[in-house]
Structure formats: C-alpha cells, structure tokens
Chain A
C-alpha cells in the first residue's frame, strides 16, 4: 500500500492566538515495501508528519493518500478505521498506552477493535509476542507488573497483532539500553523483510537511519529539506553538519581517514565491513600506503 503526502500543511490550534504552523509543503512518497526514515531535530515536525500517515491528524492544506483513500484538507473524513487498521503506529513510549488487566487482553485489544474474532486475535497475540521476544507465560500477567523493557515489547506486540501493511515507528527505542535498542531495531527490520511491510521510522539517530533505511527524509523547521537514499544523503556530510545533524560514525571515520591519508574512495560507505573491504581494495590496487 502506497502512502503519498502532497504539499501537506498542518497548523496546531488553528484560528486561535496560539496558532502555529507545524509543517508546510511536505511532499513525501512512501511506496509499498520501502523502509523510510524521517530524521530531524525535536520540533522539526517529524511527529506531525507521522500522525498524518493514518489520519490521526488531517491536513490543513494539501492531501494525503493512504492506499486508495484520499484525505483532503477542509473536508470531514469519516470511517477512518479501515485506514488505521492498515497503518499501525508505535508511538514514542508506547508502554503508556497499556491499560488492560492482562497482557493478552491488551494485545488483542487492537485486532478486536478492527473486527477480528477473539480466537484469531489470541492466535495473533501469541505470534506477536514471540516476534517481540517475550515468553508466553507473560500473557496472563498484568502489564503493570512488567519491567519497562517488557512493557515496551508488549505494547509493540499490540500493534503488530493488528497485522498492518504499514508500520510507523516514532523513536521506538527512546529510553532503552543499547542492547535493547539494537534488539528492537533488528526485530523491526526482520519483520519488515519477512512480512514485506512498509516501514516508516521517525528518529534522530543517524546510525539507525543509515543501517536500516532505503530512503531518508530530512526535516527542518516543518519543511522537508532533503530526500534520497542513504548514500546520497550522507555523501554531502558537510551539508548535514551545517544543519546541526550528525553523520554516522562510519562516515565520519571514512572522512577522517581520507583527510589524514589522502586516499580517495569513490563513494560513501555506510557499514564498517563495506568500508574495510573498500579500503583494502584501494591499498592493494594502488599499493600506496
């Protein structure tokens, strides 16, 4: 399912003295099956963009098409359930949305709202739980007696059990330790591949964007300032740094290396392995060092 944003503008508290433009002229295309990362500082409007992806917010100007449903500015949009069923959002600190007595009930809450039968929902809950790396024993526990990391995983399972075509992640690893962070990010990446999902990751981690994304969108002060694949984006690191954004460690290392040794590699490498192979090749070929 493709999602296309066309010149979307959104204003918070429109028509009050507090009116504030959150995003403007944002055009992004998210083709089916793509892993897209949206990067920007706090307040750059990335979370606002995210909420347009399943019509939680409706544009003030412009339009958003989600599959064959088009959401335009200035019109009442009803029956958004269909859209929301197909686009699952994992919000920042998703553990805050837990409320049921047991983990199982919480996980099946989403699917059942979308009309899935209880048995089917329970079956999905077990699959989702395994996917997020939790044991089945946990199903009968109260979500509030779990550790923070477990709660996060349960909340994610609740979204996965909806079986969406598109999964939207808003800083899914905020506040986790480095190991948990990597586990969760790898899990989403595997899911993306296995289920052929479209994934939208909102983050300010350049490392994650470089490692997982096919496409990167950079936002600043409510505008899209750059779009492209990771190699394109990171091949102009000075531009990023000028915007106060980081570049991945590998890229920084490559730049330092080129500067110190005078070697010239023809492209930017985003993983340490690729970079080391390229450097080895370079040395062998030129035998210069």
Chain B
C-alpha cells in the first residue's frame, strides 16, 4: 500500500476553535476516499491544509511525500475543487474552461465538452450570475476533466439536483476506471456516495472519528429487527449504536457482531440486515442512541 497523503497529528486552530484537532491518517494512492462529517466538523479546513491553502498550527501533512505548501511539484499534480471556489468577476463559464488546461496538465478538452453537455451547463453565462448548482457543475467538470493524480472535491455538488448528482457519480467513476487516480471527496450525502468509496474518514468536531475501509466499516455493525422482548434479550451487554421502537417491534443497530452472533440472532427469530453507512456514521457522530418513533 502506498500513501499519497499522510498526516501526523495535524492541528489547525482559529483562536479558541480547534477546527482540526490532532488528526493522523493516510490516504492510499489510487483509492476513492470519502471525507465525511457534519457541517463544521473540519472537513474543509482539513482539505485546505492538505492542499497547502492553509497552514497547520502544528503537526505535518505530506502529499506525494512532500510538504504541499508553496510546492509546485506537488500542486501541479493536484486539483482541488471546492464549493466556495471564487472566480474572477468578469469570467464566463467558457473562460474558466479555457483557463483550466493552462493549470492542469492532464486536462482533457473532449471530456470537458462531453461533461458540459451532460450537465447542460450554459457556458456563455457569467459565473457570478450562475445558480449554485451550475457553479457546482462547472467545478465538477473541471475536477473530472483535469485528471489530476490527486483530486480533492469539497462538497462538489452542493445545489445539484438528484439527476445531476447521478451524472456526476457516473462520469466520475467511468473516468476513474479509465484513468485511475486518487480522489478525496467530502460530503454529507453519505448513502449516495457509499458505493463509490473504498475508504472513509469520518471527522467530528475536528477529530478523526473513523478511519476504515468501507467494507470493514459496514461489517462492523448490523441492524437487528424483531420483537422488542427478543431484541432486548439479545442485545443485553452489547454496544448498541441505535435503537428504534415501533409498537412491539424494535430495530437495533449493534456493533461487533460475529458470524456466530448473526447465526444465533437469526435462530432467535431476529432479522439481521446490513447497516447503512449513513446510519452508522450518524450514530457515531452525535445522534442520540435511542429514538422513540411511536409507542
């Protein structure tokens, strides 16, 4: 395994706010990594640090083995698209698309043209007059067509509707399959991207809550559904991540179920279903563990 990004005890404070509070992790070269977390969890600050756009208060981050700050060797191999990207006032979308190849050496014009059609982007419109979704589409086009060795996408589809988001996922995966590279994607639409991700980093209040392969994370918990009494008996003494109760039926998300446990649960008449990544992360990042839906 080869790391393209490596962070060691990375910290960034703004006054009393610890936006990034001691994160250590590595992102594998060639993977699609999801950076997940709530608003204000520190995702954007972390990405800014990785791309040398901001400076760590302490700790280190290495991209391609080097400090990314003011490092053209690293930066010319990257593309960082963020929702808050600002464009010069007079720029129309076509100016952005004409400028991009100067800055991204692997930029593919034909692909960009296809994506413009796919997203139905009005290239003659001033960027500042575009809707949030159109600006996101513009960013997504540049992000995919630039084919940088390391692509960071910070909330790349804010304002995009469901259809456009699926166009984005499809095109991203399609091009990734043809031209493998490393992609780090931050989002809070966890279930939508879950199938794309090889690895997830979940940040919560500036700290790294989860750093795991997607599959491993998914199998780390399961949801059990059955009669309340049976459920209560089964989960006694286990780590319960979430609990819902509707009339006499309970649904409980439990961590660390072994194969034997699953078999035993099935024998006691409980239904074992895979937990959604979103549920799991919501549980781990602050939602109350018990939820009375109705009684």
Pair from one complex: no
- Residues of B bordering A, CB below 8 Å: none
The interface of chain A, by Cβ under 8 A from chain B, is none
